[in-house]
Amino acid sequence: MAFEISDALDDKTVWENPRLIVEVTTPGTSTPSNHGQVEACGTEGSGLASVTCNAVLVENNWTVYSGSFVWEGEAALRRFGFVAKETASANRSVGNFLDSISLEGITPIVQFSKDYHEELEGVDTEANFPIQLLVSGKPEVPLQVDVVVEPITADANDLTTTTLTITVPPGNYAGTAFQIPLGILPDGVQENREQFALRLIDKPGEGGYRVFSTEVCGAPGIATATYTILDAHIALQKIGTFVDVAGGIAPDGSPIKNAGDRMDYEFIVTNTGDIALTDLIVTDTIIGTPTLDPSRSTLEADGTLPPGGVAVFVASYTLTQEDVDSGIKENVATATASIVGYPDQPQLTASSDHTEPIPHIPSISMVKEGRFDPETDDGDGLPDPGERLRFDITVTNDGNITAFDVYPEDPGPTFDGQPGTGVMSPFTPGPSTILPGQSVVFTAFYTLSTEDIAYGSGLEDSVKNQASVNATDPTGAPLKGEMPSPMALTMPGFGVEKQALITQTQRGGRVPYVLILKPMELIKRSPIRLVDIMPAGFGYIPGTATVDGVPHEPVVEGRRLSWELEVDPGKDVEVQLTLGVSASAPFGEFTNTAQAERIDNDVVYRRKGQATVEIIPEPVFDCGDIIGKVFDDRNRNGYHDEGEPGVAGARVVSLEGVQTTTDAHGRFHVACADLPGSRIGKTYMMKLDPRSLPSGYRIISENPRAVRLTAGKTTDVSFATAFTRVVRLDITGSAFEQGSEQLMTQWQERIIALIATLEAEPSVLRIVYRAQGDEGALARNRLRQLRRIVQEQWRTSPNRYRLEIETSLMNGGPAMTSGG
């Protein structure tokens, strides 16, 4: 092995007797295992190494020692170095010893310049990669140094290359640095603290190199270096919270979002990268610059936001009507920051948006009021044709959105249910815009007609009006408001209430009355005529009338009593009077009517007062009573003779439906059965119900009976009954000619025998026809024909009793039979 050693002395002198020691060390030990010493270019040692050297003084007083070193010991891996020894020569002075050493025939040594580095992504490129390759030695041919790139958390997308070979040209190197052609690619993806490693491949042998320290003799070199890619990122989160200030609940139970309500926002900025940030600024499109909340932030005192740190900003925004009408509120926040230590890097930016839906709650309501317009009154305070009613519709926007083109729709009023015949003016103002919570009053006038006044004046709430209102919402969709119920209006006028203080009286009696004249919606003191119309048979008793307690005689015109009065608004007028009942008045109910009339045109107000009084009879002098008896007329003379008993439980009925039942003695009584005229009396009829008599009894007197009633008199009505034999004749169609109503000859002879049976004693003949099959009308005609035959035969002999014949039509039965 050949070597060269140069030395320079500051005093430009040379060593006269230089000494150089070559030390050899076995790897893993700290002391030379063998060594050789050179004195005057000689050798020293155990003979394991031999050294030859020469000293040459070169230009600029440099001394170059050169020579060769031969190791004669056991072959093994060895480290060696050169040590300059001081001498006692007077010529020796301070200088640099062993300024450079170059070796020939020795494998070069390589290592990395550092074992760790970290840097912001994209800063380090192939031109300035901070980890370098250090080379010591004197390669005689180009040296190919292989570097392995080993991803840890980084990947190939983060690097410009993953295969590295560094070419070191021939030369004499002593820790010389060579650039590693590796760059870090920025990808914009947040991947914090990605890492990869560089590893040197040890290539011993001829043309190779060894990985050892190029700075400390015998020390291990830096064979592996770790690189950390630092990311700089910022994140922004915006949170919006609705705050209900104005109040109101939507149909779904949620708060209504109105203008004046508030949105509270939080802006949370987080340093999500690996490097501290500074110059932090947050802005918002609707708020501007929010305010930092120090209590919730981790900013440093100088405003630096460390990695993982959080800065919280807050702000509030009050919703406008424009926001509510739009149906949504959108805003975007932006955060910017600078990277600490990298003033030339562009600022980091993050944004976050927030969308707050604002549901539309459309609602418009209306309240309508009406009254008589005093501006058109002619001075009497009462409505006249051509005068007006005033209508005010108050429309309120109860929703949260603006209502556009708001205008009422009104068909006009009705008067006691009749459509008005007057004229309705347009409403003022015209179509209007109403903001939420605001109201607009629309006014229109209705000009009255004669018909309107006739139907509606003087009746409470007789004028009705149902209006609606139309509008559009901010989207152009229609809105409509309806009145919950029709508005009711009372036009100025009068009504009358009347009461009879007694409800029943008799002829010649007196009836006191109270009349209440009620002014309705008067606007001033007005004249009016109060009229009471008496029923026939009644008359006014002079001196009995008072008005509000003060005597005031009416004007009497036939059956009309009238008072002309001045009435104040809101003040009722009470009139009292007494009417007398004449002795000729009929019995029954009598109604008299009180009404209010206008003095100027005799219009009668429709709200009238009525009172009904009943004239009842006086029992002793006005009634006609009935007494009577139903009896068993055993001698059949039609009179109630001594010893003939009464028939109990018999029912007697009048034409008017009055029913009475006889007692155990056959007696009955109808008290005040009728009220006959005092002069001519009255016919009264009663009938005995034969179904209520005992079995076998028949009525033998007149039934029904008509009697003449006289007022104050009692009339006797009696009914004679007697037990009567019943002779029954059953017959079928076989007793008649085929298909004819003609009785066969042999059966006509039987009729003569039947007459003889009936003549023996008073009897009732009961004929029963038993129809066979579907005889229908033929059976009924045969039954009538048989009845005529019997009647004709009975009348052939005079002085016979009145024969009563009963007929009956039945289905089925035997041939004709007779019996008693």
DSSP secondary structure string for all residues of 765-818: EEEEEEE-SS-THHHHHHHHHHHHHHHHHHTTSTTPPPPEEEEEEEES--S-B-
C-alpha span between 359 and 554 (Å, rounded): 71
- Identify the architecture of domain 493-616 in CATH: Sandwich (2.60)
CB 111 within 8 A of CB 201: no
- Its pTM stands at 0.57
| Stretch (H or E) spanning 52 | strand 49-58
The answer regarding whether domain 364-489 maps to CATH 2.60.40.1470 reads yes
Neighbour-count burial of 249, counting CB atoms closer than 10 A to its CB (0-12 exposed, 13-18 middle, 19+ buried): exposed
Query: What pLDDT, on a 0 to 100 scale, did the predictor assign at position 762?
Result: 80
Beta bridge partners of 38: 20
C-alpha span between 628 and 239 (Å, rounded): 107
Tokens of 4: 């060269």
CATH, domain 109-230, list 3.10.580.10, 2.60.40.2030, 3.40.50.720, 3.30.365.10: 2.60.40.2030
C-alpha triplet 303, 309, 312: angle, nearest 5°: 75
What are the two backbone dihedrals, phi and then psi, of residue 754, each rounded to the nearest 5 degrees? -65, -40
* Structure confidence by residue, pLDDT tens digits, 665-687: 999 988 876 656 555 677 888 89
CA distance readout (Å), 342 to 126, 186, 349: 19, 15, 15
| CA-closest candidate to residue 744, choices 816, 818, 810, 806 | 816
| CA-closest candidate to residue 33, choices 52, 49, 50 | 49
Tokens of 621: 């002098």
CA distance readout (Å), 202 to 176, 212, 452, 523, 642: 18, 9, 120, 121, 169
The ranges of the chain with pLDDT < 70 are: 1-105, 618-622, 673-680, 812-820
Query: What pLDDT, on a 0 to 100 scale, did the predictor assign at position 809?
Result: 87
What are the two backbone dihedrals, phi and then psi, of residue 739, each rounded to the nearest 5 degrees? 70, 15
C-alpha span between 16 and 7 (Å, rounded): 13
C-alpha span between 381 and 448 (Å, rounded): 14
Preceding amide of 429 cis, omega within 30: yes
Query: What pLDDT, on a 0 to 100 scale, did the predictor assign at position 771?
Result: 86
Query: Which residue in the block uniquely carries the two structure tokens 């229609």?
Result: 478
Beta bridge partners of 371: 390
Query: What pLDDT, on a 0 to 100 scale, did the predictor assign at position 102?
Result: 60
Fold of 234-357: Immunoglobulin-like (2.60.40)
* Structure confidence by residue, pLDDT tens digits, 379-419: 888 899 999 999 999 999 999 999 999 999 999 999 999 99
Residue ranges with strand state E in 288-387? 291-292, 310-318, 328-339, 348-357, 364-372
C-alpha span between 66 and 103 (Å, rounded): 10
* Chain length of the chain: 820
Beta bridge partners of 167: 144
Query: What pLDDT, on a 0 to 100 scale, did the predictor assign at position 766?
Result: 87
Fold of 620-722: Immunoglobulin-like (2.60.40)
CA distance readout (Å), 718 to 70, 267, 703, 771, 796: 184, 115, 10, 41, 33
